[in-house]
Structure 1
Amino acid sequence: MAESGAKTPRERYRAQVRAEIKQHAWEQIATAGASALSLNAIAKQMGLSGPALYRYFAGRDELITELVRDAYRSLADTLRMATEASKSGADIAALAHALRDWALEDPNRYFLVYGTPVPGYHAPDDITVIADGIMRMLLDACTALPSDGPAAPFAEHLQEHRRWAEGHPAPPAALHRALVFWTRLHGVLSLEAAGHFAGMGFDPGQLYAAELDDLRRQP
């Protein structure tokens, strides 16, 4: 009998096949995008029949969910480690640089979660929980920043429209900073990861750092 917690040979084999399927899925995504993901094509690459592959993943959406879940968990772990390594704890610069390194390490993974949504796909609740946890880390870091002067009009708007913050007690200025972080820094990252700065003659990393510095100075 297998020890408690130990996988049986059948379970190990299943895990290996699922991992191979996911690897082929990433290769498809790199070539044609997530919307073109095909389990039947993966089955042919692996020398399996379609029905045999469906014993490991019930359909395209289940496979996408597994890839998205892996990506979000990887990012959450990366940001958590960056926070723990920072001397000041909730550090927006540490989060920003960890996010950029993570995104550029595997742009296909980045675009799966922050690129164009896959048509007809809806992430399950457990993935939303992971994404909310990432946002909470960002809100913690934005709340830790000093805030001088009156809040901008949009920040005041966020005081009454903060459902997206999932109950986080961040003040309006911190909510504003978090959204600016998400829009401006993800904007630079998306353009860089897609290669749109190629040939322009400047360092995208310097642009990213400049946007981060500007964000940190925001009231």
Structure 2
Amino acid sequence: MAVGNTTPRQRYREQVRGEIKQAALEQIRAGGIAALSLNAVAKQMGLTGPALYKYFKNRDDLLTELICDAYDGAAAAMRGTAARTVDASPREQLHALGTAYREWAVGAPHLYLLLAGTPSPSCEAPAETVDRARAVLGPLLPVLGRGQCPPGVGELREQMQQWLDETPAVADWVRGCAPDAGVDPAMALAGTVVAWARLHGIVSLEVQGQFSSMGHRAATLLDAEMQALADSMGLPGA
């Protein structure tokens, strides 16, 4: 809602909500998701526990908003890169998008873990988080939809085609992200799933420090994985 259409009370409420979320993120940054405590946030802000609950119903409510914000941040990084590389080849775009996702995650590992981990056993993701997650993946669809079906991916492509046929919302999402007639929607989804799995695997290991005792750089491994995927799908480019 535009500032001009809000009351001072509403603006103050949004300001306090933003400060609560920032304090919560600092707790998560310092001690992980398990460290998040609404009472500690309230104390840090000079509020009482009951006062904080006027802004967020409970810990899971706050976590849900933080997760939504994290998805939005990752999606913005991917969209920005897609816009900057619109004239590049599909192969170059794939490398750029992979790098953008990794750099976002490494730059904000506490936010990445909100998406990749299990924030809370009782925290149920609302429906809008599905759209936000799709927004992160969306820029990959028009790139990978340009590829050919590589060996061993045929069955996955068939499953993606079935998903498209049975789920109009998914078909609409793919068409919205990859409207060009030259894009194969089922291949776009199959390639995106493969790329996502490779990206997630590398980034998760790096964020968790699993590469620290090994002799390679995570960025080099990611480049190799994206290159291998581009080769297998026959993506054009340098």
**TM tier, shorter chain?**
0.7 to 0.9
Partner of 2:138: 136
Native 8 Å contact 1:151 1:173 kept in 2: no
Q: Which moved more, 1:156-165 or 1:130-139?
A: 156-165
Partner of 2:13: 14
Native 8 Å contact 2:106 2:207 kept in 1: yes
C-alpha separation in 2, matches of 1:135 and 1:191:
20
Aligned pairs for 1:107-122 within 5 A:
107-122=109-124
Q: Which moved more, 1:22-31 or 1:76-85?
A: 22-31
Detail structure 1 runs of 4+ shifted over 6 Å in the superposition.
148-151
TM (norm. structure 2) is 0.79
Percent of residue pairs identical:
41
Q: Give how far 1:217 is off.
A: 1.1
Q: Which moved more, 1:72-81 or 1:148-157?
A: 148-157
Q: Is 1:200 aligned to residue 208 of structure 2? A: no
| Aligned residue identity for 1:22 | K
C-alpha separation in 2, matches of 1:149 and 1:25:
44
Q: Give how far 1:79 is off.
A: 0.9
Aligned pairs for 1:26-175 within 5 A:
26-86=25-85, 87-88=87-88, 91-144=93-146, 146-147=147-148, 152-162=153-163, 166-167=170-171, 168=174, 170-175=184-189
Q: Give how far 1:55 is off.
A: 1.2
Runs of 5+ consecutive residues of structure 2 not aligned to the other structure: 176-183, 234-238
Native 8 Å contact 1:192 1:204 kept in 2: yes
Q: Which has the higher contact order (CA 8 A, sep 6+)?
A: 2
| Aligned residue identity for 2:56 | F
C-alpha separation in 1, matches of 2:105 and 2:3:
37
Runs of 5+ consecutive residues of structure 1 not aligned to the other structure: none
| Aligned residue identity for 2:201 | G
| Aligned residue identity for 1:162 | W
